[in-house]
Amino acid sequence: MNRRLLKERLSMFALYGLTAGGGLILAVILITVFTKGAPALSVSFLFEASRNFGLEGGIFYQTLGTLILMAGAALVCLPVALGSVLFQTEFLHSPQLKKIFRLLIYSLNAVPTIIFGLIGYLFFGVFLEAGVSWVTGVLILAVMILPTLHVSIHEAVETIPKHYREAGLALGLSPGQQMRAVILPQSLHGIVTGTLLGLARAAGETAAIMFTATAFSGVDLPQSWTDPVTTLQTHILVLAQEAANPEALTNAWGAGLVLLAIVFILITATLWIRSGLEMEAER
Amino acid sequence: MIQHSMFHEKGPVFWWTGLAGVMAAGTIVILFASLVIESVPVFKAEGISFLWGVDWFAGENYGALPMIFGSLAVTGLAVVMVLPFALASAILTSEFLSGRARLMVKAAMELLAGVPGIIYGLMGISLLTIWVRDVFGLIDGNTLFTAGLLLAVMILPTIMTLSEDALSSVPGELRDTALSLGLTRMETVTKVVVPQALPGLAGAVFLGIGRAMGETIAVMLVIGGIDRLPQPWFNLFAPGQSIPSKIGREAAEALGFDVQWSALIALGLVLFVMVMTLTFAGNVLLRKAR
Amino acid sequence: MTQNSYAIELERVRLSYSGEAVIETASCTVRKNAVTAVVGPSGSGKSTLLRTLCRMNDRVPGFQVEGSVRVLGRDIHDPALNVYELRKRVGMVFQKPCVFPKSIEENVIFGLKFHDSRTGRDFSEKSEQALRDAFLWDEVKNRLGDPAHTLSQGQQQRLAMARTLAVDPEILLMDEPTSALDPKSSKAIEDLILSLKDRHTIVLVTHNVDQAERVADDLICVDDKTVCHKPCQRP
């Protein structure tokens, strides 16, 4: 019996130890980004253009570039994601077709992002003749975040209580009216959280845009459809490769902190909305 | 009746959702088809031996084996290193924490899963490579091992949170029954909860592997970027190359319709097939668990 | 040492979740080798009371026990007490039959093998005895290797009993063990309860007053957050 209790103690010890180890590593990463990034931050860093290949100056246009790409991607993606969800829930009736549709969307979610970059460039850059440009980047990211939005919206639409739908049908609403009056309002939280998560994913993505949408220096705001942009992600990438240069590294950490802040704000907002809904559901 | 007439009333709503639906579902098909079609030139030039060729000299010959090996090596390493931590924290969270603490841990994991790859890459290149170099007495810290280690940290939140879902979906009655028979809490976990959650846990790990295999930017910055098999092959403290890292490094210079471009697309195809296999297996296991 | 004739003694016990009382006051005793039925309306805290007796509520957040709960002569909240040993001596059978996704035989010896971990031990004799005690042996003796979930609900509940009996507990707690079963299976469980009281002390939670009258020697009534003895319905 004592051996059993000893074993119990030891395994609990191991459990706590390993968890603490994992937690510690993740904490160290966050702390590193904050401590290394904070010294670089200043008003001028945030609002000045970068100079001398990013070694001097700020990250104003990089931040704008990231925001343009992620906002553009969400704007392009939202009508498609919403439409595809409604197609799946309102117009597809055969369970087999629904299953296949779901499988295709889930597969899309698993595709490595670099492949979106490769094929996206081929379609948007070459066939649509957008070249290496912000439009190509927006379209690639829109495709990339499609499953994120789709899954989130789909979940919200699927969990609309049946009596709401039936109430709408009983009033004789047409499909379009039914969507406006019942389905969209009732699934708004899914649309919002899905979009926020999609924005976060787009903001954090580097591989898919680094050779399709961005230029590394001498770029501020795009003046035409086919101009490249500069982004925080690719800015960090370039500076990181000059890791031997302390100035480059400081600015890279500063840009990293700003990028992380953008992503964390978006995810926290998602979690906040979701927990608010759960509380409401408990009442 | 009503549903039926909805389907036949082809108003603007139908056309909008239909078009969106076709676009959403068609994307993956188009992706796969493009990968296949665009990789034809390199298979024409190299034959099927593209897959096991060991040399890659742009403009001359293309062999994918070092990259395939590199991808498998860093992913395998990452999984081996992450599993003890991910499973321990998942078990602790699901079986031993109170409801409130559990929700907080889950929220933290969701946040951490969103940390962009480039941040890990920056961390890797400025800190981890130096650390690996000094600790293991290497000349250069950019190795397959470094990439595996970095990936392990990256996928920890994802695997942890999916595993936790699998564990906490085990019905409470099984736990109660085991405890009522006088099993200790740890015995209950190892003999009842984990076996019951096994398909779900395996699914979580498979999805995590899939994600790790496709990670580009962080790996690219620390793997060394040498398109050779390590000598001997199991020497993971040597620089190497993974498929996404190779594509990431060369895509910018190869943009176009050259054989080099086709070779990169073919690498993408290999990656696609490997990741899809893992994801599919993972999803089958997860569904079985439910 | 005097031979205590009570298996369970509760004295001014208050059970609460996050400060809110489920049972305001419980003072009662359970005789050894008798069947004691706990009756009361649903939601009155019968199950909570029962689960407290083998400390199954330890992990429930905010759950608190005040007063003295003595089981087999010991205060169960004594920090020196080995709770796993307690649960071995105080077995529990739940409302819904719950079998592990293993074979019938593995289910029977599931708890036993943790308490007797000498390697290479043959449990077949013990498992046969437990199945006989649970009136299940004749129905399953030729299919011990089959998955347990192939049994009917009634058989699964008797398998759960056998699994608990195999650990050889002194007290058996049963939480509405027949409420998920058809009348015929319920009858089998009731017969089983009566046959077990020679060797075990049985506490049976039930909302079925007829059942309580059929099988119980003593009645404990839970109502309006209080627990009290009722005059014995059977001589």
DSSP codes of every residue in chain A = -HHHHHHHHHHHHHHHHHHHHHHHHHHHHHHHHHHHHGGG--HHHHHS-EEGGGTEE--HHHHHHHHHHHHHHHHHHHHHHHHHHHIIIII---HHHHHHHHHHHHHHHHS-HHHHHHHHIIIIIIIS---SSHHHHHHHHHHHHHHHHHHHHHHHHHTS-HHHHHHHHHTT--HHHHIIIIIHHHTHHHHHHHHHHHHHHHHH--TTTTTTTB-SSS--S--STT--B--HHHHHHHHHTTTTSHHHHHHHHHHHHHHHHHHHHHHHHHHHHHHHHHHHHH-
Please indicate if any CB of chain B lies within 8 Å of the CB of C57.
Answer: no
Partners of residue A203 in chain B, C-beta under 8 Å? 116
Per-residue confidence (pLDDT) for residue A276, from 0 to 100: 79
Looking at the complex, report in whole angstroms how far the Cα of residue A8 sits from the nearest Cα belonging to chain C: 11
The packing angle between helices B243-254 and A113-120, to 10°, is 20
Per-residue confidence (pLDDT) for residue C125, from 0 to 100: 85
Per-residue confidence (pLDDT) for residue B123, from 0 to 100: 94
Partners of residue A169 in chain B, C-beta under 8 Å? 2
Cα(C168)–Cα(B282) distance, integer angstroms: 42
Given a cut of 80, is residue B80 above it in pLDDT? Answer: yes
pLDDT digits (tens, 9 = 90+) for B43-67: 998 888 889 888 888 878 899 999 9
CA angle (A67 as vertex; A274, A244 as ends), nearest 5? 110
Q: What is the number of alpha carbons within 13 Å of residue B13 lying toward its C-beta? A: 17
Tally of structural domains, chain A: 2
Q: Which residues have C-beta within 8 Å of that of residue B148, sequence separation ≥ 6?
A: B73, B74, B75, B76, B77, B78, B81, B236
Q: Chain A, 139-198: which have a CB under 8 Å from a chain B CB?
A: 143, 146, 150, 169, 174-176, 179
**Residues A18 and A119 reside in one and the same domain:** no
Per-residue confidence (pLDDT) for residue A282, from 0 to 100: 58
**Residues A202 and A71 reside in one and the same domain:** yes
Given a cut of 70, is residue C231 above it in pLDDT? Answer: no
Residue ranges per structural domain of chain C? 6-99+168-230
Tokens of B4: 């039926």
Spatial contact of C14 and C21, defined as CB atoms under 8 Å apart = yes
Mean pLDDT of all residues in B122-143: 92
**Residues A155 and A274 reside in one and the same domain:** yes
Residue C41 DSSP code: -
Per-residue confidence (pLDDT) for residue B257, from 0 to 100: 65
Spatial contact of B220 and B244, defined as CB atoms under 8 Å apart = yes
Given a cut of 60, is residue C3 above it in pLDDT? Answer: no
**Residues A18 and A117 reside in one and the same domain:** no
Which residue, among C168, C108, C171, has the nearest Cα to C144 in the 3D structure?
A: C108
Per-residue confidence (pLDDT) for residue C120, from 0 to 100: 62
Per-residue confidence (pLDDT) for residue C2, from 0 to 100: 45
Tokens of C211: 């059942």
Which residue, among C37, C81, C83, C7, has the nearest Cα to C218 in the 3D structure?
A: C37
- Percent with pLDDT over 90 in chain C: 23
Spatial contact of C37 and C204, defined as CB atoms under 8 Å apart = yes
Partners of residue C85 in chain A, C-beta under 8 Å? 1
Per-residue confidence (pLDDT) for residue A10, from 0 to 100: 92
The answer to whether the CB atoms of B180 and C91 lie below 8 A apart is: yes
Q: Which residues have C-beta within 8 Å of that of residue C40, sequence separation ≥ 6?
A: C46, C207, C221, C222, C223
**Residues A84 and A202 reside in one and the same domain:** yes
Partners of residue B24 in chain A, C-beta under 8 Å? 80-81, 84, 104-105, 108, 146, 150
Residue C220's φ and ψ, nearest 5 degrees, are -120, 130
Looking at the complex, report in whole angstroms how far the Cα of residue C37 sits from the nearest Cα belonging to chain A: 33
**Residues A27 and A121 reside in one and the same domain:** no
Hey, what's the torsion of the CAs at C8, C13, C18, C19, to 10 degrees?
A: 180
Indicate the pairing of strand C20-31 with strand C226-230.
Answer: parallel
Mean pLDDT of all residues in C168-195: 89
Give SS3 for B230: coil
Mean pLDDT of all residues in B232-260: 87
Please indicate if any CB of chain B lies within 8 Å of the CB of C164.
Answer: yes
Per-residue confidence (pLDDT) for residue A283, from 0 to 100: 52
The answer to whether the CB atoms of B180 and C98 lie below 8 A apart is: no
**Residues A193 and A103 reside in one and the same domain:** yes
Which pairs count as long-range contacts for C20-26, CB under 8 Å and 24+ apart, including other chains?
Answer: C21/C225, C22/C48, C22/C225, C23/C48, C23/C49, C23/C222, C23/C225, C23/C226, C23/C227, C24/C225, C24/C226, C25/C67, C25/C225, C25/C226, C25/C227, C26/C67, C26/C226, C26/C227
- Domain containing A272 equals 43-282
CATH class of C6-99+168-230: alpha beta
Per-residue confidence (pLDDT) for residue B5, from 0 to 100: 46
**Residues A10 and A104 reside in one and the same domain:** no
| Residue B225 backbone class (left: φ over 0; alpha: ψ -120 to 50; beta: rest) | left
**Residues A102 and A240 reside in one and the same domain:** yes
How distant, in Å, are the alpha carbons of A72, B168, B184, C122 from that of B196?
Answer: 45, 11, 17, 25
ipTM entry: 0.91
Mean pLDDT of all residues in C195-208: 90
Partners of residue B99 in chain C, C-beta under 8 Å? 61
Peptide bond into B232 cis (omega under 30): yes
Per-residue confidence (pLDDT) for residue A281, from 0 to 100: 64
Prediction pTM value: 0.88
Q: Which residues have C-beta within 8 Å of that of residue B106, sequence separation ≥ 6?
A: B93, B161, B164
Mutate which: B180, B190, B191, B198, vs C, most C CBs within 10 A: B180
**Residues A116 and A201 reside in one and the same domain:** yes
Given a cut of 50, is residue B203 above it in pLDDT? Answer: yes
Which residue, among B148, B114, B28, C104, has the nearest Cα to A143 in the 3D structure?
A: B28
Given a cut of 60, is residue B6 above it in pLDDT? Answer: no
Indicate the pairing of strand C63-71 with strand C6-17.
Answer: antiparallel
- The per-residue pLDDT string of chain A (283 residues; one tens digit each, 9 = 90 and over) reads 578 888 889 999 999 999 999 999 999 999 999 999 999 888 888 888 888 777 778 889 999 999 999 999 999 999 999 999 999 988 888 889 999 999 999 999 999 999 999 999 999 988 888 888 999 999 999 999 999 999 999 999 998 888 888 888 888 787 778 888 888 888 999 999 999 999 999 999 999 999 998 887 667 788 888 889 999 999 999 999 887 788 889 999 999 999 999 999 999 999 999 887 776 665 5
Write the CATH number for A191.
1.10.3720.10
The nearest alpha carbon in chain A to C118 belongs to A1
Give SS3 for B255: coil
Partners of residue C153 in chain B, C-beta under 8 Å? none
**Residues A135 and A263 reside in one and the same domain:** yes
Spatial contact of B251 and A211, defined as CB atoms under 8 Å apart = yes
Per-residue confidence (pLDDT) for residue B290, from 0 to 100: 64
Average pLDDT of every residue of chain C: 86
Backbone Cα Rg of chain C: 18
Q: Which chains touch A (3 or more CB pairs under 8 A)?
A: B, C
**Residues A185 and A259 reside in one and the same domain:** yes
Please indicate if any CB of chain C lies within 8 Å of the CB of B92.
Answer: no
The residue with greater pLDDT, A71 or C181, is A71
